[in-house]
Chain A
Amino acid sequence: MRSFHLVRANDRPAAVAEGAASHTAQQGASVRFLAGGTTLVDLMKLGVERPERVVDINRLGLDGIHKQANGDLFIGATARNSDLAHHPLVRDGYSALSQAILAGASTQLRNAATTAGNLLQRTRCMYFRDSASACNKRTPGSGCPAITGTNRMLAILGTSEACIANHPSDMAVAMMAYDAVVHVQGVSGDRQIRLMDFYVLPQQRPDIETVLAPGDLVTHVTLPPPPAGERSTYLKLRDRASYEFALVSAAAAITLSNGMIASVRFALGGVGTRPWRASEAERALVGQAPSEEAFRKAAEICLKGARPQTQNSFKVELAKRCIVHAFKQVVH
Chain B
Amino acid sequence: MMDPGKNTIATDDPGNGRLTVTLKVNGQEREVSIDPRMTLLDCLREVLHLTGTKKGCDHGQCGACTVHIGGRRVNSCLALAAAHGGDEIVTIEGLGTPGRLHPMQAAFLENDAYQCGYCTSGQIMSAVALLREPCGASDDDVREFMSGNICRCGAYPNIVKAIQQARRALEGI
Contact surface of A with B, Cβ cutoff 8 Å: 1, 3-11, 13-18, 20-21, 31, 34, 36-38, 41-42, 44-46, 53-56, 58, 82, 86, 105-109, 111-112, 187, 241-243
Asked if A9 and B80 make an inter-chain contact with CB atoms under 8 angstroms apart, the answer reads no
Q: Is the interface of A mostly helix, strand, loop or mixed?
A: mixed
Tell me if B88 is interfacial: C-beta within 8 Å of chain A. Answer: no
Tell me if B101 is interfacial: C-beta within 8 Å of chain A: no
Contacts of B4 in A (CB 8 A): 17-18, 20-21, 31, 53
B11 contacts A6, CB within 8 Å?
yes
CB pair B11 A7 closer than 8 Å: yes
The residue in chain B whose Cβ has the minimal distance to the Cβ of A111 is B72
Q: Which residues of A sit under 8 angstroms from B33, Cβ to Cβ?
A: none
Contact B134 A86 (CB under 8 A): yes
B168 at the interface (CB under 8 A from A): no
Least CB distance, A132 to chain B, in whole angstroms: 16
- Among B89-97, B109-117, B141-149, the stretch that binds chain A is B141-149
Residue numbers in B under 8 Å from A37 (CB-CB): 78-80, 83
Interface residues, chain B, CB within 8 Å of chain A?
Answer: 1-12, 14, 17, 19, 35-37, 39, 58-60, 63, 66, 72-75, 78-80, 82-83, 126, 129-130, 133-134, 143-145, 147-149
Q: CA–CA, A276 to B1, complex, Å?
A: 36
A5 in contact with B72 (CB, 8 Å): no
Of the listed residues B1, B8, B59, the one surrounded by the most CB atoms of chain A closer than 10 A to its CB is B8
Which residues in B have their C-beta under 8 angstroms from that of A242?
A: 143-144, 147
Q: Tell me whether A105 and B148 are in contact (CB under 8 A).
A: yes
Set of chain B residues within 8 Å of A112, measured between Cβ atoms? 74-75, 78-79
Bound-state CA distance A11–B8 (Å) is: 8
A109:B60 contact, CB within 8 angstroms: yes
Complex CA distance for A7 and B133, rounded to whole angstroms: 33
Q: B8 contacts which chain A residues (CB < 8 A)?
A: 7-10, 14-15, 18, 55
